[in-house]
């Protein structure tokens, strides 16, 4: 059973410098939900790994985060898609926790729960921290140029060796165009 891990903000939905604090502020990037549904139809189990320091900063609480994720799941269901689980780090960056990307704790939790081998797993993100955690755990990184992606690439030219796509939909099309035994 193949897995794929996605960052949330900037990959699935539009990001905001002011944080996504309510379900109303959760706005999917065009084509992203359909891309997840396409992965599901191709047999992929989709997981999400997202930093959510807005909780520690007091911008929203855990019940509100669950409401935001309920909206994600409801919107996905409308297009025939599903995420298996959403892993998140609620901590402030100053807490220096083990789960906040680029630290690998969240990914080790995923590995422990699902028994996956990261060498077989794509991780799609839009930030330097996303690319760093993929490198640390041994996932196959993909950088999408939505949200922080273009700036991330511009400020970190060494990332030019990582596959890049305009958005999640293009990344998914590229993944699915390769025979599954070489994924």
CB 5 within 8 A of CB 116: no
61 carries an active-site annotation: no
CA 156 to chain CA centroid, nearest Å: 20
Strands 85-89 and 45-51: parallel
9 carries an active-site annotation: yes
Q: Pick the catalytic residue from 9, 15, 126, 130.
A: 9
Burial of 108 (0-12, 13-18, 19+ CB in 10 A): middle
The partner residues of 87 in beta bridges, in order of sequence, read 49
Q: Pick the catalytic residue from 7, 15, 126, 130.
A: 7
Cα separation of 162 and 183, whole Å?
15
Known catalytic residues?
7, 9
């Amino acid at each position: 059973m193949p897995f794929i891990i996605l960052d949330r903000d900037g990959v699935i939905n539009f990001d905001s410098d002011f944080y996504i604090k309510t379900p109303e502020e959760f706005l999917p990037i065009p084509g992203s939900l359909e891309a997840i549904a396409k992965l599901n139809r191709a047999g992929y189990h989709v997981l999400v790994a997202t930093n959510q320091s807005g909780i520690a900063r007091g911008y929203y609480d855990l019940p509100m985060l669950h409401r935001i994720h309920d909206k994600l799941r409801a919107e996905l269901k409308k297009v025939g898609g599903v995420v298996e689980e959403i892993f998140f780090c609620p901590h402030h960056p100053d807490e220096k926790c083990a789960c906040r990307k680029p630290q690998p704790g969240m990914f080790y939790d995923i590995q422990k729960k699902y028994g996956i081998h990261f060498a077989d797993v794509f991780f799609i993100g839009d930030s330097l921290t996303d690319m760093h955690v993929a490198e640390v755990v041994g996932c196959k990184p993909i950088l999408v140029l939505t949200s922080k992606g273009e700036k991330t690439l511009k400020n970190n030219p060494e990332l030019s060796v990582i596959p890049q796509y305009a958005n999640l939909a293009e990344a998914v099309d590229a993944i699915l165009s390769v025979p599954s035994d070489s994924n």
